[in-house]
A and B are shown apart, each in its own frame.
Chain A
Amino acid sequence: DTGVSQDPRHKITKRGQNVTFRCDPISEHNRLYWYRQTLGQGPEFLTYFQNEAQLEKSRLLSDRFSAERPKGSFSTLEIQRTEQGDSAMYLCASSLVGLQETQYFGPGTRLLVL
């Protein structure tokens, strides 16, 4: 399968714990995005990378959130000191820069903070 993959698919954690999610984009794609989606809402942009450079970060992203894409391939999203309000689906997407650029989404990681 050459689509975007995410791991884990589900994560249950206790408030205050740290969690880390991984995203593997489509191999030739140079842009990688992280979104958060809550029930009944559209995706909310968190951050994106072009190759290994983090080019944009949402104002909504608190200091507890950090993302990396160390070699311009896979990416990780870490949430420190999780809060119940962090419970959501975390979606990763990748794209290839170009006129018809389209973001292709992974299956998501569903986070539940107890």
Chain B
Amino acid sequence: ELKVEQNPLFLSMQEGKNYTIYCNYSTTSDRLYWYRQDPGKSLESLFVLLSNGAVKQEGRLMASLDTKARLSTLHITAAVHDLSATYFCAVEDVSNYQLIWGAGTKLIIKP
């Protein structure tokens, strides 16, 4: 059974700092996604990562995937307040194409 773990679950940081959110998963998968969710809102797709060594960047966010380690990272560079949100990773279960979600990382960026 595929399990997805994120850490940390909560992160409070100052503007201008760098930090990384980690997503570990337990069995082989072909796809990993990162989503953002603002309070009371729905989920916004950030990245889809398909292959080992994949790296994608959008603004101050960069996501990478190591399929051998079953690990993805979401790196935040020079954080700004607008990036405050909950970030989820989701991994595709190859047996049934379902997405298995992490518990989310609640990120608070203080001015």
A residues engaging B (CB < 8 A)?
Answer: 40-45, 48, 56, 91, 93, 99-108
Contact = CB atoms under 8 A, between A and B. Distances in A.
A56 B103 contact: no
Interface stretch (B12-20, B39-47, B57-65, B72-80): B39-47
B103 to A, nearest CB: 6
A93 B43 CA distance: 9
Interface residues of B, number: 21
Given A56-B96, A100-B48, A91 B103 contact: no
A99 B48 CA distance: 10
Nearest to A92: B42
B36 to A, nearest CB: 11
A56 B90 contact: no
Given A42-B90, A42-B104, A56-B96, A104 B45 contact: yes
A102 B41 contact: no
Nearest to A106: B42
Q: Which of B42, B99, B102 has the largest number of chain A CB atoms within 10 A?
A: B42
